[in-house]
């Protein structure tokens, strides 16, 4: 599929957490994409990239969906946050290779932080995934606080066993605390590390640390790790002996 230049019209915008909103839009041309891919939005003379948050099938019915974190001073998120129903913007799509790869693995483990859950939701919703889903599907989603949890209940309804872990949980939180790497170290044995495929998406440093853990500690073969980063890792993280990541830079 080749990327097309599109004129997009906003259908609606919904605030879903203190720092994240969903924006739905339609395009003036037919847009085919694979679940997990992303769109590049024109912001002035620059472009900002955001993953599709719903499946191709859902997009045809309800419009294309983006899940955007509001970054203070971020050009892209500030621009999109001010759009209202009926407003238009220019984009190019589809891009990216972060998509489900059918295999004989008995388990697939999705790992995300923040809005990195968006392409994972797209994959779980898609007919492509449903037709060849493995026996065990796990989602490990990391957030800072409980009010930042996205798509609560939806992923479970799609048949995934979901582990939400909070790094800054308050005293009322009865779930998991810490980071996604802490949960990975303690996944149930039925997750089937050997032969399982891992899909990792989120901030660059997190993706790097998760990939390092998977390969160097859990001994997951490199070819079983599919990763996409929303920013480049720091110099120290980039020097870690992890996967040869080529991150997609998704700016605020």
pLDDT of 2 = 77
C-beta separation of 92 from 47 below 8 A: yes
How far, in Å, CA of 119 to CA of 140, rounded? 14
pLDDT of 124 = 98
147 domain-assigned: yes
Same domain assignment for residues 59 and 17 = yes
Same domain assignment for residues 53 and 150 = no
Instruction: Tell me if residue 102 falls in helix, strand or coil.
Output: coil
The secondary structure of residue 231, as a DSSP letter, is: S
pLDDT of 130 = 95
Q: How would you label 33-68 residue by residue, b for 16+ Cβ within 10 Å and e otherwise?
A: bbbbbbbbbbbeeeebbbbbbbbbebbeeebbbbbb
Domain of 37, in residue numbers: 4-95
pLDDT of 220 = 87
100 domain-assigned: no
pLDDT of 218 = 85
At 149, list the tokens: 């949890």
Same domain assignment for residues 90 and 115 = no
248 domain-assigned: no
Same domain assignment for residues 79 and 157 = no
221 domain-assigned: yes
76 domain-assigned: yes
101 domain-assigned: no
Domain count, the chain: 2
244 domain-assigned: no
At 110, list the tokens: 């999705």
C-beta separation of 48 from 85 below 8 A: no
DSSP H/E element including 112: strand 107-113
Q: Please give the average pLDDT of every successive group of 10 residues along the chain, which has 252 residues.
A: 90 96 96 95 95 97 96 94 97 94 88 96 97 92 96 96 95 94 79 77 91 89 89 44 36 41
- DSSP string across 6-74: EEEEEEEEEE-SSSEEEEEEEESS-----TT-EEEEEETTEEEEEEB-S-HHHHHHH-EEEEEE--TT-
pLDDT of 240 = 36
Alpha-carbon torsion (6, 88, 58, 249), positive or negative: positive
Same domain assignment for residues 118 and 226 = yes
Same domain assignment for residues 234 and 111 = yes
pLDDT of 235 = 42
pLDDT of 103 = 83
Residues 6 or more apart whose CB falls under 8 angstroms from that of 195 comprise 105, 106, 107, 224
C-beta separation of 64 from 52 below 8 A: yes
Same domain assignment for residues 111 and 204 = yes
Query: For position 66, which CATH number holds?
Result: 2.40.30.10
Same domain assignment for residues 200 and 115 = yes
């Amino acid at each position: 599929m080749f990327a097309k230049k599109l004129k997009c019209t906003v259908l609606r915008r919904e605030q879903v957490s203190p720092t994240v909103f969903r924006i739905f839009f339609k395009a003036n041309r037919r847009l085919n994409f694979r679940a997990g891919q992303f769109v590049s939005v024109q912001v002035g003379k620059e472009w900002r990239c955001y993953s599709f948050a719903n499946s191709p099938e859902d997009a045809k019915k309800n419009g294309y969906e983006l899940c955007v974190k509001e970054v203070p001073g971020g050009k892209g998120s500030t621009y999109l946050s001010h759009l209202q129903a009926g407003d238009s913007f220019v984009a190019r799509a589809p891009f990216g290779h972060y998509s489900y790869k059918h295999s004989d693995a008995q388990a697939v483990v999705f790992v995300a932080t923040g809005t990195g859950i968006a392409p994972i939701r797209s994959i779980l919703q898609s007919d492509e995934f449903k037709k060849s889903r493995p026996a065990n599907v796990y989602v490990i989603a990391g957030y800072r606080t409980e009010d930042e949890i996205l798509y609560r209940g939806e992923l479970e309804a799609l048949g995934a066993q979901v582990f939400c872990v909070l790094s800054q949980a308050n005293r009322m939180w009865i779930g998991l605390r810490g980071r996604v790497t802490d949960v990975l170290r303690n996944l149930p044995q039925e997750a089937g590390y050997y032969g399982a495929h891992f899909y990792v998406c989120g901030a660059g440093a997190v993706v790097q640390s998760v990939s390092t853990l998977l390969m160097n500690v859990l001994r997951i073969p490199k070819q079983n790790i599919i990763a996409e980063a929303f920013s480049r890792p720091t110099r120290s993280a980039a020097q870690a002996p992890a996967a040869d990541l080529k991150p997609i830079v998704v700016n605020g």
